[in-house]
Chain A
Amino acid sequence: MPRKEIGLESTIDYLSILDTKGKPDKDLEPRIGKELLLDMHRAMVRARRFDEHQLRWQRQGRLGTFAPVIGQEASQIGTVAVLDDQDWMVPAYRQSAAALWRGTPLAGLLLYNAGYNEGGEIPEGQNDLPIAIPVASQIPHAVGIGYALKQEGSGHLAMTYFGDGATSEGDFHEAMNFAGVFNTPTIFVCENNQYAISVPREKQTRAGTLAQKAIAYGIPGIQVDGNDILAVYSAASEAAERARKGDGPTLIECVTYRMAVHTTADDPGKYRTQKEEEQWQKKDPIERFRKYLTARKLLNKKKIESLEEELEKEVKSAWDEAEQRMAELDRHPEVMFDHLYGEMPAYLGTQRKAMTDEDDDANG
């Protein structure tokens, strides 16, 4: 009747490939085609510049509150880049970089952030879900999607995103448990950006890592340097291969930093130090990747400049497009009755018509 240590089924790795100077660990460096490398770089810069513009427009009152991705570009692009078109992407509310990669237009995001649900329309054929506001609520969906994909025997997978704070919700634990028991092709990407609004990661859980939570559910977990796109991509590729082979789910914890505000209603100066922000600045995922690409002669100053110019133009013309749509939509408040049911019930039709006619008698 001994008392003895129980050997846990798995351990948790930490993976980092690029150092802060952009120098790769040669043994770990993944083989990624040049085109994909440049696409990933472009996507990271595009997401960042877009948010920088959005933050300005929000301050000018042209956009509503939104959650910027700045600082988390590697953790999103490095993961989403392993998906193919038939895979599913299930975001929280901060995954603009991933959504843009998948094909969501800039103008759509702008429209959405200006307060128009129409902007949230997902282009035909893009297997993404709309954003989810209640923290962690999207995670079980990715398990169900994975289940359906498995049922179809498609070899496709579902990838879902959430923050460190989300790991405190029951939804996260219940979803991980389901995924383990049902062995679904689901990749759980936890973007540990150190804060849930103003609550630091240490106050969210006493566990040393978030990745280790996988152990309790019998699934593989890995912690990666989330500001190192090569590490993120490698971990995501492994997880995707596992899922496609029928070997089930994986939890990936990307250790990263929310370099900007939580949402535009927040002031980080009140709960974190400038020194901390500066330290993370040095680990900027875009700078690091640029150094790597430059050393590999895939990128140079001139190419960067022309990319920046091109993106500047693209973002501005997206704004013009979004603005035009807003003006059209504002004229029709009765659209608030659309999309509640597959077929509009008669009472809603009455209310809709009353609003069109500005007839107060008919509401209800």
Chain B
Amino acid sequence: MAQNKVTTLQAINTALHEAMAQDDSILVFGEDVADPEEGGVNGATRGLSTEFGESRVRSTPISEQAIIGAAIGSAMAGMRPVAEIMLMNFSTVAMDMIVNHAAKLRYMSGGQTAVPLTIRVTTGAGFGTAGQHSDYLEAWFAHTAGLKVVTGSTPAETAGLLKACIFDDDPCIFIENLPAYWQKGEAPEPGQTIPLGKARIAREGSDVTVVTYGPQVAVAEAAAEQLAEEKITVEVVDLRTIQPWDRDTVLNAVAKTGRAVVSHEAVRAFGVGAEISSVIHEELFDQLRAPVQRVGAPSTAVPYSKALESAFVPDADKVVAAIRKTLK
């Protein structure tokens, strides 16, 4: 059977349609998200307001604090809001709501108040939109207890994980990658959700394990492909959920090979990779044949020009170089 290919954007759109049809309590808030405003600046929410009405799918004023704040309120009163923040950088405007409220209301109410909120954000270098547009802030969110942080690596993965976030009873930061929006992959199975907290073995191998997520999964796969020519086989683990991450799958995969590289597009220093690398060292010290290597962006802001951007984002060569270091 010929596979039906869709873009990540189409997969997200389908997931939102499916979820909203399934559960009337799902609301969508965000700037430009309704159809009179083009159904989102990238079209992720296109068609939703026409199908489900503008009282469920609402274009808001440019007020991120109020978007997240009102979404939290509606979540506490029985709704399942999906709030879109146009770019991950602008989630900073709503940080009080995310960190002090969404993440903490359950805790501070002694478990009485759930905040079943999904915050969709997108980011990613690749389009030359620079310093205030393309940051990778997942480590901030992962560092905040009470939040779940999730990201997909293919259209089908993205759709399945997004639905899992929407139906989860805790606040989830769902990170989308802007350049990946227009990349194609197999269409999601209708009705399929992917459980949170479960990583996926994206490629099997026995020499080195690369732990990664989001757009770096494809980069790790490309690196694995390069090394296959030298008979080096690389296992690629796609975290899917960055927090709470799937320690069992990661540790088993690393124990198997005895070598690990952790890779992400975000700045390497103080990044998600540091936590994973530490845990691997703590748990598997005796079984490691080399120190865990990390791949990530250099310690600077996302640069503006295309030339600089491509020097900033870790590519397959960087992953290959890190893998080789574990093999030395």
**Does residue B65 face the partner (Cβ distance < 8 Å to A)?**
yes
Tell me if A168 and B296 are in contact (CB < 8 A). no
Contacts of B59 in A (CB 8 A): 199, 203
Which of B32, B62, B299 interacts with A169 by CB under 8 Å? B62
* Complexed CA–CA distance, A337 and B267 (Å): 13
Tell me if A270 and B299 are in contact (CB < 8 A). no
Size of chain B's interface in residues, with CB distance under 8 A? 46
B294-319: which have CB < 8 Å to A? 294, 296, 298-301, 303-309, 311-312, 317-318
* Stretch of A79-87, A231-239, A328-336 with 4 or more beta carbons under 8 angstroms from chain B: A328-336
Which of A166, A347, A360 interacts with B299 by CB under 8 Å? A347
**Does residue B129 face the partner (Cβ distance < 8 Å to A)?**
yes
Tell me if B268 and A364 are in contact (CB < 8 A). yes
Contacts of B131 in A (CB 8 A): 117, 133
> Smallest CB–CB gap between A201 and chain B, Å?
10
The residue on B at minimum CB distance from A348 is B299
**Does residue A216 face the partner (Cβ distance < 8 Å to B)?**
no
* Stretch of B87-95, B145-153, B201-209, B234-242 with 4 or more beta carbons under 8 angstroms from chain A: B87-95
* Complexed CA–CA distance, A72 and B72 (Å): 38
Contacts of A133 in B (CB 8 A): 89, 131-133
The residue on B at minimum CB distance from A334 is B311
* Complexed CA–CA distance, A348 and B318 (Å): 18
Knowing A168-B63, A203-B61, say if A364 contacts B303 (CB, 8 Å): no
Tell me if A165 and B61 are in contact (CB < 8 A). yes
Which of B130, B268, B298, B299 interacts with A117 by CB under 8 Å? B130
Contacts of B129 in A (CB 8 A): 64-65
Knowing A117-B303, A197-B32, A360-B321, say if A271 contacts B62 (CB, 8 Å): no
Which of A135, A165, A266, A361 interacts with B325 by CB under 8 Å? A361
The residue on A at minimum CB distance from B320 is A360
* Complexed CA–CA distance, A106 and B129 (Å): 20
**Does residue A363 face the partner (Cβ distance < 8 Å to B)?**
yes
1/0 per residue, CB under 8 A from A, across B115-150: the answer is 000000000000111111100000000000000000
The residue on A at minimum CB distance from B267 is A364
Tell me if A270 and B38 are in contact (CB < 8 A). yes
Tell me if B37 and A115 are in contact (CB < 8 A). no
- A-B residue pairs in contact (CB < 8 Å), sample of 27: A64-B128, A64-B304, A115-B130, A115-B306, A117-B130, A117-B303, A132-B132, A134-B90, A168-B66, A196-B62, A197-B31, A197-B37, A198-B37, A198-B41, A199-B62, A266-B41, A270-B38, A333-B303, A333-B308, A335-B308, A336-B298, A336-B303, A336-B308, A336-B311, A337-B298, A351-B298, A363-B268
